[in-house]
Amino acid sequence: MATILPRETIVSIILFTLLYSWKRLVGFVYLGVCFVCALMYGMVGLTYGHIDKNAIDALLYTNFNEAFEYATSIPPSVFGWYGSLILFFSAVVIFLKKHPQFLGDLNRKFLGLLIVLLVVFSGNTFVKNLFKGSPLHITDIKSTEVHFALSVYSALQDSSRGQNKYSIFNRSADWNATADGQAATNYVVILGESARRDFLESYGAPWNNTPWMSNEPGILFENYLSASAGTVPSLSRELYFNSDADNFNPAYNIITLAKSAGYRTVWISSQGERGGADSPISVVAKMSDEYDFVADDLNPLNKVIKKTDEDLLEPFKESLSRSGKKLIVLHLIGSHPQVCRRTDDKYTEYFHSKELSCYIESLRNTDHLAKEVTEALKAREAKHGEKWGLLFTSDHGLDFATDQNGWCLKHIDKRQGSYEVPFFIAGSEFKHREIVRSYRSGLDFLPLIASWMHISSPRLPSLPCHWFKDEVCANQETVYRYSGELINYHDLPSYSLQTFMNENP
Ligand SMILES: [Zn+2]
């Protein structure tokens, strides 16, 4: 049974049966509360993932105009979910009203059995830990009711603690930005996923997996650090302006900045639209003039036809073919673990394990995608004279680990490699290859992008240094641990691919 229905759902059904057979009214109240919670969840959960501080802020601070603007961008699948929800609850209520004797007089043995099942399904991890003497966590109880109450409680606490007066739906930013005469017409940002730079040939890796990045004229940054070691902790800081400030306003981000300077903005992603805690990234993506989540997990077709980063190319070329100034962001699924899924189990060179071999291959695929994007930009320049700029980086690296299949790379925030990502800029203006060895921080990603796009705004701080010359800039060597602690990158131990190869010949 547990394979058909999630354990949490079985627990809810048993709980309802017990309450309803005890007192019908209590059963109906339980049903009503579930219905209201599901409605609320639909509003924020389906589009923004789990109930968190952002979701609560959204409910608390969203005004009518923002809500209306947002509602017009809700995908039809959400309405489908609401429709089925209302149908399901009405069907249950109508059935129970028509059959008042249903679940009316359950015998004691059956009730006893239900209680045992309730404990088994909801509490086996909890009970196991109790007997083993392991520390007990209330979150080990497998029950939607318990988890929902805990999430709402902690989200409310976070929300009331923060001074955040801006909802994630707020879109009005007064950047007053302008782009100067040197700005190009077409800018593309390729946001890679889980790419650790020492695995790239262009950063010294011993295999030929970056023919594009190793040869294309441009600037290679040797010491760019991602803001953190996970997609959300990194990008929720890099894509927004002053994300650490008390009065942080999500309307100030890379997309609204480019828009304010007159760029048409396009976000094309092969990542999930609302998977788990991806919310802060989807929020930025959805402020674009145009966005396309090619692998949208609510589209049933995507369960059958698996989407890859290659599928970003077609919508990219279509967006590029429009006239006028534009910023196109390509957010890849790239080298995310289990990476053999991304490469269809293929790899060119075997290196210690299948997973590491696919990892090298996935980076080769990313490089190939960047090459195709570059060629499209060059073709556009040749035909229409439109200057272009292309920036490639990754949200974070990964760290060496092992699992039952041997060596692999995992999301870990404990060593330097997890923060060491590639950063490469190409474009019409470059005839040679240059190298910047000074540190650059993902925490300054937005001001750096502004400089790159020749955008100025009274909101932006004055430049601490010339980002694109090999000059030392202040405060470029701090990173965020998962815990939210800001630390000096040099305080973390180093464990490079070279060290790994020396230890595992
Ligand atoms: Zn990531």
Q: What is the 3-state secondary structure (H, E, C) of 173-235?
A: CCCCCEECCCCCCEEEEEEECCCCHHHCHHHCCCCCCCHHHHHCCEEEECCEECCCCCHHHHH
How close is the Cα of 431 to the center of ligand 1, in Å?
32
Split into its structural domains, the chain has a count of 2
How close is the Cα of 458 to the center of ligand 1, in Å?
32
Within a domain: 177: no
Per-residue model confidence (pLDDT) at position 342: 84
Residues 281 and 148 reside in one and the same domain: no
Angle between helices 7-22 and 24-48 (to 10 degrees): 150
Q: What is the mean pLDDT of residues 426-446?
A: 95
User: Predicted confidence band at 106 (pLDDT cuts at 50, 70, 90)?
Assistant: confident
For ligand 1, an ion, list residues with CB under 5 A: 193-194, 231, 395
Per-residue model confidence (pLDDT) at position 274: 56
Q: Is the pLDDT of residue 90 over 70?
A: yes
How close is the Cα of 101 to the center of ligand 1, in Å?
53
Residues 207 and 285 reside in one and the same domain: yes
Q: What is the mean pLDDT of residues 19-44?
A: 83
Residues 489 and 438 reside in one and the same domain: yes
Q: What is the pLDDT of residues 222-232, one digit of tens each?
A: 999 999 988 88
Which carries the bigger pLDDT value, residue 446 or residue 23? 446
Within a domain: 138: yes
Q: What is the pLDDT of residues 123-153, one digit of tens each?
A: 777 777 777 777 777 777 777 777 777 777 7
> Does residue 121 sit in helix, strand or coil?
helix
Within a domain: 19: yes
Q: Which amino acid is at 410?
A: K
What is the spatial distance between Cα 197 and Cα 204, in angstroms, rounded to a whole number? 9
Q: Is the pLDDT of residue 185 over 90?
A: yes
Give ∠ CA 402-405-410 in degrees, rounded to 5: 35
Per-residue model confidence (pLDDT) at position 352: 94
Residues 117 and 193 reside in one and the same domain: no
Residues 121 and 201 reside in one and the same domain: no
What is the spatial distance between Cα 23 and Cα 31, in angstroms, rounded to a whole number? 13
Q: What is the mean pLDDT of residues 86-114?
A: 85
What is the spatial distance between Cα 193 and Cα 237, in angstroms, rounded to a whole number? 15
Q: Are strands 178-179 and 455-456 parallel, antiparallel or unpaired?
A: antiparallel
Within a domain: 310: no
How close is the Cα of 248 to the center of ligand 1, in Å?
23
Chain position carrying tokens 């999930």: 272
How close is the Cα of 364 to the center of ligand 1, in Å?
17
Contact criterion met (CB below 8 Å) for 489 and 419? yes
Per-residue model confidence (pLDDT) at position 275: 45
Within a domain: 300: no
Query: Does the predicted model carry a pTM greater than 0.75?
Result: no
Q: What is the pLDDT of residues 451-503, one digit of tens each?
A: 999 999 999 988 878 999 999 998 999 999 888 889 999 999 999 999 999 99
Report the CATH number that the domain containing residue 484 is assigned in CATH: 3.40.720.10
What is the spatial distance between Cα 38 and Cα 18, in angstroms, rounded to a whole number? 21
How close is the Cα of 37 to the center of ligand 1, in Å?
30
How close is the Cα of 228 to the center of ligand 1, in Å?
10
Give the chain's mean pLDDT. 84
Contact criterion met (CB below 8 Å) for 227 and 480? yes
Contact criterion met (CB below 8 Å) for 352 and 406? yes
Closest CA to 463 of 481, 442, 449, 478: 449
User: Where does a domain end: 97, 127, 161?
Assistant: 161
Contact criterion met (CB below 8 Å) for 18 and 12? no
Per-residue model confidence (pLDDT) at position 2: 40
Q: What is the pLDDT of residues 300-351, one digit of tens each?
A: 565 566 778 999 999 999 999 999 999 999 999 889 888 888 888 899 999 9
- Residues comprising the chain, all counted: 505
User: Where does a domain end: 106, 126, 161?
Assistant: 161
Residues 214 and 152 reside in one and the same domain: no
Contact criterion met (CB below 8 Å) for 402 and 424? no
How close is the Cα of 176 to the center of ligand 1, in Å?
32
Closest CA to 311 of 335, 290, 300, 295: 295
Which carries the bigger pLDDT value, residue 38 or residue 284? 284
Q: What is the pLDDT of residues 406-420, one digit of tens each?
A: 898 988 889 999 999
Within a domain: 304: no
Q: Which domain holds residue 234?
A: 184-262+270-289+315-503
Within a domain: 106: yes
Residues 445 and 481 reside in one and the same domain: yes
Residues 153 and 120 reside in one and the same domain: yes
Per-residue model confidence (pLDDT) at position 44: 59
Residues 228 and 99 reside in one and the same domain: no
Q: Which of 56-60, 150-154, 190-194, 216-220 has the lowest mean pLDDT?
A: 56-60
Q: Are strands 186-192 and 388-394 parallel, antiparallel or unpaired?
A: parallel
How close is the Cα of 23 to the center of ligand 1, in Å?
49
Within a domain: 301: no
Residues 62 and 188 reside in one and the same domain: no
User: Predicted confidence band at 278 (pLDDT cuts at 50, 70, 90)?
Assistant: very low
How close is the Cα of 334 to the center of ligand 1, in Å?
9
What are the C-alpha distances in Å from 498 to residues 169, 205, 222, 281, 337? 45, 8, 16, 33, 21
Closest CA to 320 of 269, 273, 386, 393: 386
Residues 96 and 204 reside in one and the same domain: no
How close is the Cα of 191 to the center of ligand 1, in Å?
10
User: Where does a domain end: 130, 161, 192?
Assistant: 161
% of the chain surpassing 90 pLDDT: 47
Per-residue model confidence (pLDDT) at position 132: 79
Per-residue model confidence (pLDDT) at position 63: 47
